[in-house]
Amino acid sequence: MLAAVPRAFAATTYFLVTVDTETSSGCGPQGCFPDGIEDRILGEHEGRRLGAPLIMDMLEQRGMRGNFFVNAYIGSVYPADDIKRFVQEMLERGHDVQFHAHPEFRCFKTCPKEDLACRARCIKEDSFIVGNTYENQLKILKEGADAIREWTGGRPLLAYRGGGYVADENTLKALRALDVPIDMSLSGPEHPLARRLPLNKAAELEGMLEIPLYDFTENLFGHKRNKHLDVETTSWPEQRAIIEEGIAHDVRVIVLMMHSFSFCEATRGCPAQASIDRFAKLLDYLKARPEVKVVTVSALWDAYRKDPTILTGGSGHVPETGYWLTLRRSAERFDEGWSNRLFLLGNLFACLAILGVAVRLLLRTRR
């Protein structure tokens, strides 16, 4: 483990709030019926806008800006004017719009919504990324890059994130050919790009800059699993602990993952007030840290081109969380997912069992 850098000499830690901005394909036994832009992207609910607009409001209230990775293939479903309207709002408010890819949306162009067999064939034969040839990836990604550039009015397109984080070496080569210089798909040690790139540290490969998601290890008495910093799956104490640990170990760039529907979605509730409160706490904390800069990809890319060491220096330290932080998350997020419930109840029963054994032993020794 690397030694902690004394805070007075620590370099800046750049913090990127990244928001995958997308609708759902809405697939079920009857076919695929995508929801509207007003649902998972704008989060319109009882007169409020709880999706991307609320995320922008919360950032702007603190003088910060975010990065919206828009699914580049939604033009197969929604009118271009409707897409341009929300993209232009993001740009006018000073946020970044970058490239997110769920290429299965291309199948809405060729398959009727009810025809699941056609869709399955379309995805298997054409509309996928990892495992596909360089030539096919280039064709698919060019369509996406062209769409984003059209919606943004030709702004420089800088960064890409695969749907479900998928990307491989051919993806990087294709992005490079399309003048998209940054990939932000690398997530965890099992990712295809992790064979050649470090976690938690920006690095260059195939002429591309990779900025990975912020990975951490959850260690429960030797049973380890990797997760990443995500508004939806980490508690506030976990977020604070892993960010503190990264700063102390000179991690230069930390990426927060969220979705346009993080605060409003059927399974999560709408509004998901606990998630909104957690995000507010995180932003207040970041604002109070002088060594942290919350930036857009565009601003970071400008700074990096002037001095690459702002990112390539530092460490790729992977923080570790343990039993107490996991237990606290399970308590804080008891109503958000079965794994939290299982962990908390499992621990409760284990405690009761240990207590029961202890009482029996005590009674037996007294007799």
Q: Which residues lie near Zn ion (CB under 5 A)?
A: 20, 22, 163
- Report the distance separating Cα 162 and Cα 19, nearest Å: 13
Cα separation of 156 and 182, whole Å? 12
Q: Mapping DSSP to helix (H, G, I), strand (E, B) and coil, where does residue 128 land?
A: coil
CB of 286 to Zn ion, least distance (A): 24
3 state SS of 172: helix
> CB-wise, 20 or 104, nearer to Zn ion?
20
Partnered with residue 163 across adjacent β-strands are none
Q: Which residues on adjacent β-strands are paired with residue 210?
A: 183, 203
Nearer of residues 69 and 304 to Zn ion, judged by Cβ: 69
Smallest separation (angstroms) from Zn ion to the CB of 185: 11
Residue placing its CB nearer to Zn ion in the complex, 20 or 250: 20
Please say which residue, 22 or 215, places its beta carbon nearer to Zn ion: 22
For residues 30 and 314, the answer to whether their CB atoms sit within 8 Å is: no
What distance in Å separates the CA atoms of residue 178 and residue 187, rounded to the nearest whole number? 23
Q: Are 80 and 87 in contact (CB under 8 A)?
A: no
Of the two residues 268 and 289, which places its CB atom closer to Zn ion in the complex?
A: 268
CB-wise, 68 or 236, nearer to Zn ion? 68
CB of 101 to Zn ion, least distance (A): 8
Closest to Zn ion by CB, 16 or 311 = 16
Q: Could you tell me if 109 and 74 are in contact, meaning their C-beta atoms sit under 8 angstroms apart?
A: no
Minimum CB–partner distance for residue 100 and Zn ion (Å): 6
Residues 25-49, buried b or exposed e (16+ Cβ, 10 A)? beeeeeebebbebebbbbbbeeeeb
Smallest distance, Zn ion to C-beta of residue 162, A? 8
Q: Which is nearer to Zn ion, 214 or 236 (CB)?
A: 214
Query: Contact, 44 vs 36, CB < 8 A?
Result: no
Q: Which is nearer to Zn ion, 97 or 318 (CB)?
A: 97
Residue whose pair of structure tokens reads 């050649």 in the numeric block:
196
Q: 210 by DSSP, 3-state: which?
A: strand
Is the bond preceding residue 271 a cis peptide, omega within 30 degrees?
yes
Shortest Cβ 22–Zn ion spacing (Å): 5
Q: What minimum distance in Å lies between the beta carbon of 137 and Zn ion? A: 17
SS3 breakdown of the chain: % helix, strand, coil, rounded to 5?
Answer: 45, 20, 35
Question: Please, what is the minimum distance in Å from the beta carbon of residue 21 to Zn ion?
Answer: 8
CB of 27 to Zn ion, least distance (A): 14
Among residues 163 and 188, whose Cβ is nearest to Zn ion? 163
Q: CA nearest 105: which of 80, 131, 128?
A: 128
Task: Tell me which residue has tokens 């919350």.
Answer: 294
Q: How far is the CB of 102 from Zn ion (least distance, A)?
A: 6
On whether the CB atoms of residues 40 and 30 are closer than 8 A, the answer is: no
Residue among 193, 188, 158, 191 at smallest CA distance from 69: 158
